[in-house]
Amino acid sequence: MNQTSKKQGISFKSGDIINGKWHHQRYVILKQLGQGAIGSVYLCDNNGKKVALKISDKGSSVTMEVNVLKTFQKVQGNRLGPSLLDVDDWVNPNGKPYAFYVMEYLRGTELSTFIRNSGQEWLGILMLQLLDDLTSLHKEGWVFGDLKTENLIVTYPPPRLRWIDVGGTTQIGRSIKEYTEFFDRGYWNMGSRKAEPSYDLFALAMIMIQSYHPNRFERGHTPKKTLLKKLQHTSQLKLYEPCLYKALTGEYTSSEQMKQDLSKLLMKRESTRANHTKSTTRATNQTRRPNPTPTNKSKETNNHPMLESFGIIVVVFLFYLFYLLLR
């Protein structure tokens, strides 16, 4: 039985035309881009320009999203969400009004696809970009709320992370407007649903975890334990673990703190890889081409030149033995 109580929304075919009631703009539907809880998004042509149009019969929800997009415009010099181009109504032949708004069409790849194609090392870097954007958003007094993998795309070149659905954006201090269970700290028993910067940082950590658990996982009877165990046992996340742990447990109160920690970890990987010290074993799981030499010398070896020379002598001696035997 398919019938849900969801009232049948409207759907458009390619070639349909939406005329604005107030601003008299004309939009020709090209294709559907997506469908969410509030309305559908279509790719449209407006005077030869490609734009994204979101239309819904839930007028009030559309208006609230428009309000959020408008506040984004106010954040100067920073392109947080897609920019807002038009807000209007469309009246269907029966006289029923539908609210819609038009935004810039961001052409990009989904975050998960991008990482799969371009390499794991991009994850940390894109997350730094995201932390930058979150910092500006938080400074304006807002949190993103419904931060999740599906709401992020990567535009390029150069690769840049952008968010596309801003419906959950909430003023700091209020209750989160919209969320997705897997990314919600309330669901994991790890905090409230009050809009504060740490709420977004939890979700960001979950995005990183999810990229290695694409099918997500159940919370079980002890949600917090389940989650922290998953974090520990995901070898690819070893590098980020201390940072993610702090984000999940709400230790960061601002995105700047997390950005600092994360960039330190990312830089560390670079420098340690150059030295081939023990501490890179954490990182080698991450790099696509692990160190070809199987030596796993401990740090002490490096600190004891005597031992090192002794090792070299032994190896040379062994080679000499082989030489003697094979001759």
Partner 1 sequence: MKKGTLKQILLITDGCSNKGEDPSAVAALASQQGITVNVIGVLEDDQSEDPTGLQEVEDIAMSGGGVSQIVYKQALSQTVQTVTKQAMTQTLQGVVNQELKQILGPNDSLEELPPEQRGEIMEVVEDLGETCDLEVLVLVDTSASMHNKLPTVLEALIDLSVSMNARIGRNRFSIYSFPGKKKDIDKVLDWSPKLDSISSVFPKLTSGGITPTGPALKEAMYQFGKKSLRRSFMRKDEPNIEEAGY
Which positions are annotated as active-site residues?
146
User: Which of the ranges 26-34, 127-135, 192-200, 207-215 carries the binding residues for partner 1, by CB under 8 A?
Assistant: 192-200
Q: Is 218 in the site for partner 1 (CB under 8 A)?
A: no
**Sole binder of partner 1 in the list 79, 139, 160, 174 (CB under 8 A):** 174
Kindly tell me which of 10 and 125 has the beta carbon lying closer to partner 1: 10
Non-local CB neighbours of 280 within 8 Å, separated by 6+ positions: 269, 272, 273, 291
Q: Is 323 in the site for partner 1 (CB under 8 A)?
A: no
Contact 199, 191 (CB under 8 A): yes
**Sign (positive or negative) of CA dihedral 162, 166, 170, 67:** positive
**Sole binder of partner 1 in the list 45, 89, 121, 251 (CB under 8 A):** 89
DSSP codes, 150-171: GGEEEETTTTEEEE---TT-EE
CB of 37 to partner 1, least distance (A): 8
Q: Is 181 in the site for partner 1 (CB under 8 A)?
A: yes
Q: Give me the half-sphere count of Cα atoms (radius 13 Å) on the Cβ side of residue 234.
A: 24
Contact 299, 277 (CB under 8 A): yes
User: Which value, to the nearest 10 degrees, does the dihedral of the CA atoms of residues 147, 153, 156, 158 take?
Assistant: 20
Q: Is 209 in the site for partner 1 (CB under 8 A)?
A: no
Q: Computed over its alpha carbons, how large is the radius of gyration of the chain? A: 26
Q: Residue 54 and residue 166: Cα distance in Å, rounded?
A: 12
CB of 57 to partner 1, least distance (A): 11
3-state DSSP call for residue 113? helix
Site string for partner 1, 8-37 (x = CB under 8 A): --------------x--------------x
Q: Is 63 in the site for partner 1 (CB under 8 A)?
A: yes
Kindly tell me which of 122 and 187 has the beta carbon lying closer to partner 1: 187
Q: Is 298 in the site for partner 1 (CB under 8 A)?
A: no
Q: Is 99 in the site for partner 1 (CB under 8 A)?
A: yes
Q: Is 88 in the site for partner 1 (CB under 8 A)?
A: yes
Contact 193, 179 (CB under 8 A): yes
Kindly tell me which of 206 and 265 has the beta carbon lying closer to partner 1: 206
DSSP codes, 38-72: S-EEEEEEETTEEEEEEEES-HHHHHHHHHHHHHH
Q: Is 220 in the site for partner 1 (CB under 8 A)?
A: no
User: Which of the ranges 48-56, 61-69, 102-110, 153-161 carries the binding residues for partner 1, by CB under 8 A?
Assistant: 61-69
Q: Is 173 in the site for partner 1 (CB under 8 A)?
A: yes
- Ranges of H-type helices in 250-304: 255-275, 280-284, 299-303
Contact 50, 43 (CB under 8 A): yes
Q: Is 119 in the site for partner 1 (CB under 8 A)?
A: no
Name the site residues for partner 1 (rule: CB under 8 A).
Answer: 1, 3-6, 22, 37, 59-60, 63-64, 66-67, 70, 87-89, 97, 99, 173-176, 181, 186-187, 192-195
